[in-house]
Amino acid sequence: MEFFSGTVSHQLDGKNRIRIPAKFRAKLGKPYYFMARPDGCIGVYSKEALGQTLEKMQSVTTGNPQRLTALRKVAKTIEEANEDDQGRVLLSQALREHAQIAKDVVTVGMFGYLEVWSKEKFDEIDSQMTFDEASRILDY
């Protein structure tokens, strides 16, 4: 599996499309997928990473109606990214609303996948913890 790190700031264009930054796109491969994440961003997954994520989710659903309903909630947010000839991908209205993306976007490498945030939400989340606090929590 590929390793993603770093951040890139960019914008939606006038037709609600983004370009996954080149430094990330090459590692994603094709196809790749968008999925709403519970923290208010959009996850971007390679086919392999999405498969692993969904396998974990599905492994505990048997016979549990509440988990099946939760799985449906997540599954309906998954969209295959369809790039045009210039590498732009339309972000659906549902995903834009979920992530509260209007214009400015930050893409963050999260090791096994990417996160796409509205710049405002990312700045708010990022300001809630210093790097020293993060390093203590992660114990490195």
Residue 62 in this model has a pLDDT that exceeds 70: no
The model's pTM is 0.91
Spell 84-111 as b/e; 16+ CB within 10 A means b: eeeebbbbeeebbebbebeeebbbbbee
φ, ψ at 56 (rounded to 5°): -65, -45
Residue 1 in this model has a pLDDT that exceeds 80: no
Q: Can you spell out the DSSP letters for 47-85?
A: HHHHHHHHHHHHTT-TT-HHHHHHHHHHHTT-EE--B-T
Tell which CATH classification among 1.10.287.130, 3.40.50.720, 3.10.290.20, 3.40.1550.20 matches the domain 7-48+77-138.
Answer: 3.40.1550.20
Band of residue 61 on the pLDDT scale cut at 50, 70, 90: low
